[in-house]
Structure 1
């Protein structure tokens, strides 16, 4: 009886506080990898280091998007062309949404103030969208008068992006 009550109470608390299914395990792997490879970038001639994003995922994906804070699930549906009833992107967060075979399979929310990683595309785009062809990412650490960030950009266009820094 007590076990059922505890389970019921946990369900109520989760509902009230909007428990997230955000993949925190992946986020930890991403943080560790970005920091490691950006440290390696400081030690080589090209000033960036590379890794395959798929090497730290334990799920299949063929595309992913980056969404900024306050993007609603309706906007995510409109941009991706898929139907998803997940939560809106919380204030102060960004969201990475992974898609496989036209289904959203994972997402992760992160706070750029705690983990300042920015993803850049190879061309001008309204939405940050990456396909599996861009699985190999260049990573480096960049500082300017506004602060320091980790940069992730598809390796095929890393040198072009770095020239803009």
Structure 2
């Protein structure tokens, strides 16, 4: 009985810690919402809105599969937003040193978002286009 309890505890500990450093950044989400509300703005400079270290950010469109997210990121990331079955959000995932450090769920707000022909954003090339 002690062995089974130990195994269950170990599994729960591993599952609980697997993405413990990954945080949904609701402050960033609110900042993006405020920018999008201004109909005169057509671009978001993400680096000016972040207060954490990152070297790459990926913007995933609605209905992006978990497999595609993993392939593009190059790391295992369990998408907590379930974007693969949603059309109401975009998912913005930040990496630092090949580790996911933050993510944001960006409500579409009757807009589309894109990063043009870029594969991902960097702190020096950080603009997201707002298409109304």
Tell me, yes or no, if structure 1 residue 77 matches structure 2 residue 70: yes
The superposition leaves residues 40-86 of structure 1 with CA deviations (integer Å, 9 ceiling, x where unpaired) of: x6xxxxxx7x7642221122111111112232333211111111123
Unaligned runs of 5+ in 1: 1-20, 42-47, 143-148, 150-165
Q: Which protein has the larger Cα radius of gyration, Structure 1 or Structure 2?
A: 1
Q: 1:79 to 1:52 in 2, by over 3 A?
A: closer
State the SS of the aligned residue for 1:95. strand
Question: Which of 113, 132, 143 pairs up with 2:123?
Answer: 132
**Counterpart in the other structure of 1:120:** 115
Q: How does 1:36-115 map to 2 (within 5 A)?
A: 36=38, 39=40, 52-87=45-80, 88-89=82-83, 90-92=85-87, 93-112=89-108, 114=109
Number of residues of Structure 1 aligned to a counterpart in Structure 2: 107
Larger relative contact order, structure 1 or 2 (CA cutoff 8 Å, min sep 6) = 2
The superposition leaves residues 99-143 of structure 1 with CA deviations (integer Å, 9 ceiling, x where unpaired) of: 11111111111231x25241232x3x6xx52222303x3867x6x
Calculate the TM-score normalised by the size of structure 2: 0.63
State the SS of the aligned residue for 2:24. coil
Q: Distance in 2 between matches of 1:115 and 1:25?
A: 20
